[in-house]
Amino acid sequence: MNLGKNWLNQRAVSNPQDVAIYFEESAITFLELFDQVKKYANGLLEISTGDKVALHLDNSPEMIALIHACQFVGKKAVLINTRLTASEVEWQLRHLNVGVLISNSDLSFTDLDLVIYQTTDQIFDHSTQEPPQSFDPSDIAWYVFTSGTTGLPKAVPLTYSNMSASAIASQSKLGAHPGDIWLLNMPLFHLGGLAIVFRSIISNIAILLHSRFDMNLIIGDLQEYPITLMSLVPTMLKRLMPHLNNKSTLRHILIGGAATPVDLQKEALQTLPIAITYGMTETCSQFTTAVSAELEGRIGTSGKPINGEFKIFDYDSSGIGEIGVKGPTITPGYVVSSTTLRDGYFMTGDLGYEIDGYLYVVQRRQDLIISGGENIYPSEVEAALNKIPGINASCVFGITDSEWGQIPVACLELQYDIAVIEIIDIISSELAPYKIPKAWYRVDMLPRTASGKIIRKDILNLYPEDLNPL
């Protein structure tokens, strides 16, 4: 077995007094984090229920410590979106046959063989025993859920070698300087947040951790701390831009999670060191990146691969085709369903083109709606709507929104009249708030193919002039 050394252990030995995490009024050093992680690891050693531990927690030092503790003892961390409903969480736990859940929410499930720890204190073990700290780099370390084109979530396994390759490549592109501070307000259950945790310990970067996106808190911290790195989705960038112009310590503002409008890129580039990135859960986050100097004259590109390569398949006369990627950061494969490989490339389902080695992404997966950095798959929302008596069929699609990038809209084929407020009340128990349509329309009959499949593009062609508001 090819055993690797524990990354946090190495950082605690080489830089024990350097700050690992700033959170609220506290500063936690790498040595202090290491000691806390060992106590959580000893607590996890007492758990014999399977090899997976689901973490359903908001951003906090305890969440980071538990992520590391799972690595110490060979437990696979299953990261659960805290914005999901109880029924959505239950499906994910069943899908991976998870036996242990650590959550700071009051969740309960029916007929599920599960041990639930309602607080992180229940895992904390004050013993001084040294837990194991080695691992095989090829071992699966994390499961992060993403949605498939069918609307059902897919569990994406990622290995230690995936994450280390991603972190090292990010460092080579963005640099790692003494005194670096990375402001982290992205959720830790998303790769955009999780990846920063491991960039921190591999590259000796302090994390300034926020529990969520809070514009006023970010503005205050920009004044108080010499922040050098930030990760934002385009919506966040647009809101924060007026407050970032005088922040001279910023070296890179990494923008990802959704397509960044060209006009926003142009405006930001006038005063800010933005870096546009393209990646997904399956690529362990950051796959291509273009820093400010590269964006000059190349507005719209997401850059060159930072550790791997891409190829455009089945391109049309304009050069646009499906993006295939390969390299050491790519997932070894989905749970249950299989990844789509072609000539050794993972097929992303995204469309783009290439100029001089730079990738330009035309759109994310064809039916995917990205609202404020959150992925919404229409078929998942449609499945919830179609259960409601009175709704014969539904079609959900995204429309452009100046604040969120996109918002979901629903078009319904009704058997009889039903009020929007009643529909929202029903689906709110099944869908997270960001997945609920923000505008509602009705038609007498949704357009269908000969086999009965709804033709989504025909609905888009009808919107909004030929659709009746509900």
Q: Is 58 among the domain residues?
A: no
Q: Is 30 among the domain residues?
A: no
The CATH number that applies at residue 390 is: 3.30.300.30
Q: Note the pLDDT of residue 249.
A: 94
Is residue 375 predicted with pLDDT exceeding 90? no
Count of beta carbons in the 10 Å neighbourhood of residue 417? 8
Output the CA torsion sign for 170, 175, 179, 183: negative
Q: Note the pLDDT of residue 450.
A: 46
Which residue do the tokens 């299953």 mark? 78
pLDDT confidence band for 161 (50 / 70 / 90):
very high
- From the list 293, 295, 246, 239, the residue with the least C-alpha distance to 266 is 295
State pTM to two decimals: 0.84
Q: Is 237 among the domain residues?
A: no
Q: Are 335 and 154 in contact (CB under 8 A)?
A: yes
Is residue 452 predicted with pLDDT exceeding 70? no
Q: Note the pLDDT of residue 317.
A: 87
CA distances from 381 to 376, 406, 457 (A): 8, 15, 17
Q: Are 223 and 251 in contact (CB under 8 A)?
A: no
Structure letter (DSSP) for residue 125: -
Q: Is 421 among the domain residues?
A: yes
Q: Tell me how many domains the chain contains.
A: 1
Q: What is the pLDDT of residues 204-263, one digit of tens each?
A: 999 999 999 999 999 999 999 999 999 998 888 988 998 998 788 999 999 987 778 788
Mean pLDDT computed over every residue of the chain = 90
Q: Is 305 among the domain residues?
A: no
Q: What is the pLDDT of residues 95-120, one digit of tens each?
A: 999 999 999 888 888 888 899 998 89
Higher pLDDT, 400 or 21: 21
**What span, in angstroms and rounded, lies between the C-alpha atoms of 72 and 133?**
5
User: 448: helix, coil or strand?
Assistant: strand
Is residue 366 predicted with pLDDT exceeding 80? no
Residues pairing with 408 in the sheet: 398
Is residue 365 predicted with pLDDT exceeding 80? no
Q: Note the pLDDT of residue 149.
A: 37
Q: Are 348 and 322 in contact (CB under 8 A)?
A: yes
pLDDT confidence band for 451 (50 / 70 / 90):
very low
Residues pairing with 140 in the sheet: 159
Q: Note the pLDDT of residue 231.
A: 95
**What span, in angstroms and rounded, lies between the C-alpha atoms of 168 and 160?**
12
- Residue 420 structural domain: 369-469
Q: Is 446 among the domain residues?
A: yes
Higher pLDDT, 262 or 283: 283
Q: How large is the average pLDDT for residues 429-433?
A: 93
Residues pairing with 363 in the sheet: 351
Count of beta carbons in the 10 Å neighbourhood of residue 24? 11
Q: Is 449 among the domain residues?
A: yes
Q: Is 453 among the domain residues?
A: yes
- The helix (run of H) or strand (run of E) holding residue 232 is strand 229-232
